């Protein structure tokens, strides 16, 4: 027999479901009877009154300001650091100057869910940061829920380095949070000035890590830690803010579903970037703290790309460039701490944010840190993940050279001249060209020009290797389809088509050489023109399929970039 508390809980869940259905049907344009809903669920009267108030505010024009690359969290990045960055006044007509107990003074930031204002709380005569959700009954359900999560999470947190929430409520039909106003700047502004002093960076991240550990002990995972969500007051003290994406991991209810990616790509843990929501936990925040430390020490985030997709792929598949390779002045111990935080597997990171803070404290006091450098195998695996294009070519060329040496020295199946010498020479030139082009892509001014050059070099050197053997009859022609498929990993349609054209042109050269010059091969292999035509068509179709898939993936990336869900 159920208890009264269980009965009330079940009834509340049913009422919530009824309200959700009501809103969904309104969004589809259906005409719904308000009276029928209230007759069955009279406790929803207050919620419906709030919806009516929100709808009435739809007449106010809301200025649509594009989100910046740092995403949803910008709406709560509250700072003021000089006349040139003075917050702009709120646009006329968006909200009344008098907002309940608050007088709106200036607009501080704008994001996906609403606007943050600098406001004066009239009853207590104090300056606060007022975060307001702008919208009507057609507003995004996720936006409202995230705001509710932020209010619930932040209201229960009390730590000297976590931005305090004074009040959550409603005024003129809009939900708001009144938060502590931090006079100063944000950490992303400081990071934009270049690499930070090592001790200052370590001390800052250690303090933030202590605050994050407090969140974890309260059952909260932030999930969107980044420099713009860390405020720095005039005394240099950091404050963690913006809990719009936080998850209460002790709660059975989840705001997001499996596969959702929420956060900011450059600071997102691999399990979060891959959409493995069930694996996102406190150690994901440890990864983000390591990414913040990396940027403070090097002046750039661990991964950079032209779009969200490029960054997400790097986060999931690659290791970042060692901090000391980007900035040689980074102390070895801090580089090791960064490396441990940024491990792909959560089990290999620090076991908690407190453990990270402790190791940073050991560095600051000159003690031996717990982080240890990887062994030879570990360093090799890191390099392979960091340089997939170069490492895959070098590994393939090394394997090819071993097969060639085995065929000559053991099987005695190939002549020394010219086949054996030419093959090894081509392999050596290919390896040298790959290394040079990889360095040009990394350090050159026009990396995409060098990527096209690399694709051309691959096709031409493969042509030289094939022609030194059996030409169109050589088994090495299977490498051409592999080059086309591999070009798709750069996620550029034009590069795929360029590689396809180079591969087709190379095969046509091989076919002409086979029939017009290599009479010995014509007698050895009974190939007709239909075989060559089939190979060319297969290469073209493969290139079209790869280009189509790349175009689809890029369209998806553009969609997420527009929604600013990096």
Catalytic annotation, residues = 224
The radius of gyration computed from the CA coordinates of the chain, to the nearest angstrom, equals 30
What gap in Å lies between CA 300 and CA 14, rounded to an integer?
49
Asked whether 460 and 453 are in contact (CB, 8 A), the reply is no
Residue whose pair of structure tokens reads 């840190």 in the numeric block: 369
Per-residue DSSP letters for 6-20? HHHHHHHHHHHHHHH
What gap in Å lies between CA 136 and CA 114, rounded to an integer?
12
Phi, psi angles (nearest 5°) of residue 221:
-105, 125
Phi, psi angles (nearest 5°) of residue 127:
-90, 130
**How many other CB atoms sit within 10 Å of the CB of residue 58?**
14
What gap in Å lies between CA 537 and CA 476, rounded to an integer?
18
What gap in Å lies between CA 177 and CA 467, rounded to an integer?
72
Asked whether 116 and 76 are in contact (CB, 8 A), the reply is yes
Nearest to 412 by CA among 424, 400, 423, 420: 420
Describe the crossing of helices 332-341 and 282-298 by its angle, rounded to 10 degrees: 150
Return contacts of 526-534, CB within 8 angstroms, 24+ apart. 527/472, 527/473, 532/472, 532/507, 532/508
Under DSSP, the state recorded for 154 is H
Q: Is 305 helix (H, G, I), strand (E, B) or coil?
A: coil
Under DSSP, the state recorded for 91 is P
Residue 27's alpha-carbon distances to 46, 112, 141, 508, in angstroms, are 20, 19, 11, 58
What gap in Å lies between CA 216 and CA 268, rounded to an integer?
17
What gap in Å lies between CA 176 and CA 213, rounded to an integer?
27
Asked whether 77 and 242 are in contact (CB, 8 A), the reply is yes
- 3-state percent breakdown (helix, strand, coil) of the chain, nearest 5: 60, 10, 30
**How many other CB atoms sit within 10 Å of the CB of residue 223?**
24
Phi, psi angles (nearest 5°) of residue 129:
-100, 120
Q: Which residues of 105-127 are buried (b: 16+ CB within 10 A; e: fewer)?
A: bebbbbbbbbbbbbbbbeeeeee
What gap in Å lies between CA 394 and CA 435, rounded to an integer?
9
Q: Which helix (H) or strand (E) holds 185?
A: strand 184-186
What is the spatial order of strands in the sheet that 98-99 belongs to?
98-99, 102-110, 114-121, 126-133, 174-180, 165-171
């Amino acid at each position: 027999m159920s208890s009264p508390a269980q009965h009330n809980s079940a009834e509340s869940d049913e009422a919530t479901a009824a309200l959700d259905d009501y809103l969904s049907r309104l969004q589809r344009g259906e005409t719904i009877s308000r009276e029928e809903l209230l007759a069955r669920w009279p406790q929803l009267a207050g919620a419906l009154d709030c919806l009516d108030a929100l709808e009435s505010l739809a007449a106010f024009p809301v200025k649509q300001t594009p989100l910046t690359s740092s995403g949803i969290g910008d709406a709560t990045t509250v700072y003021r650091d000089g006349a040139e960055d003075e917050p702009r006044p709120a646009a006329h007509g968006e909200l009344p100057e008098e907002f309940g107990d608050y007088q709106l003074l200036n607009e501080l930031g704008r994001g996906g869910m609403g606007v943050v204002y600098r406001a004066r709380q009239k009853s207590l005569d104090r300056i606060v940061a007022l975060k307001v959700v702008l919208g009507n009954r057609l507003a995004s359900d996720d936006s409202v829920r995230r705001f509710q999560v932020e209010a619930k999470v932040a209201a229960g947190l009390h730590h000297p380095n976590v931005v305090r929430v004074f009040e959550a409520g409603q005024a003129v039909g809009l939900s708001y949070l009144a938060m502590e106003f931090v006079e100063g700047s944000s950490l992303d502004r400081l990071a934009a000035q270049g690499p930070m002093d090592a001790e200052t960076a370590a001390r800052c991240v250690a303090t933030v890590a202590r605050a994050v550990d407090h969140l974890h002990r309260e059952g909260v995972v932030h999930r969107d830690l980044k420099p713009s969500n860390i405020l720095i007051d005039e005394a240099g003290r950091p404050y963690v803010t913006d809990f719009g994406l936080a998850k209460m991991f002790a709660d059975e209810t989840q705001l997001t579903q499996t596969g959702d990616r929420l956060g900011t790509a450059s600071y997102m843990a691999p399990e979060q970037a891959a959409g493995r929501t069930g694996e996102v936990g406190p150690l994901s925040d440890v990864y983000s703290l390591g990414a913040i430390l990396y940027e403070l020490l090097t002046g750039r985030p661990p991964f950079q790309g032209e779009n969200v997709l490029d960054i997400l792929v790097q986060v999931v598949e690659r290791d970042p460039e060692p901090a000391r390779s980007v900035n040689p002045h980074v102390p070895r111990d801090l580089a090791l701490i960064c490396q441990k935080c940024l491990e792909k597997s959560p089990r290999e990171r620090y076991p908690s944010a407190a453990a990270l803070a402790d190791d940073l404290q050991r560095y600051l006091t000159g003690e031996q840190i717990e982080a240890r450098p990887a062994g030879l195998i570990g360093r090799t695996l890191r390099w392979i993940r960091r340089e997939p294009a170069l490492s895959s070519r070098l590994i393939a060329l090394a394997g090819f050279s071993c097969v060639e040496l085995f065929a000559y020295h053991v099987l005695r199946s190939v002549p020394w001249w010219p086949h054996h010498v030419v093959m090894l020479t081509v392999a050596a030139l290919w390896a040298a060209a790959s290394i040079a082009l990889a360095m040009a892509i990394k350090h050159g001014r026009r990396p995409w020009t060098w990527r096209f050059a690399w694709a051309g070099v691959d096709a031409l050197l493969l042509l030289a290797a094939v022609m030194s053997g059996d030409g169109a009859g050589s088994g090495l022609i299977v490498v051409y389809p592999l080059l086309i498929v591999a070009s798709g990993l750069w996620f550029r349609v034009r590069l795929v088509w360029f590689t396809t054209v180079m591969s087709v042109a190379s095969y046509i050269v091989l076919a002409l050489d086979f029939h017009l010059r290599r009479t010995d091969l014509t007698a050895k292999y009974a190939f007709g023109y239909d075989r060559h035509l089939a190979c060319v068509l297969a290469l073209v179709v493969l290139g079209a399929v790869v280009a189509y898939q790349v175009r689809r993936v890029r369209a998806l990336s553009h969609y997420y970039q527009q929604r600013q869900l990096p």
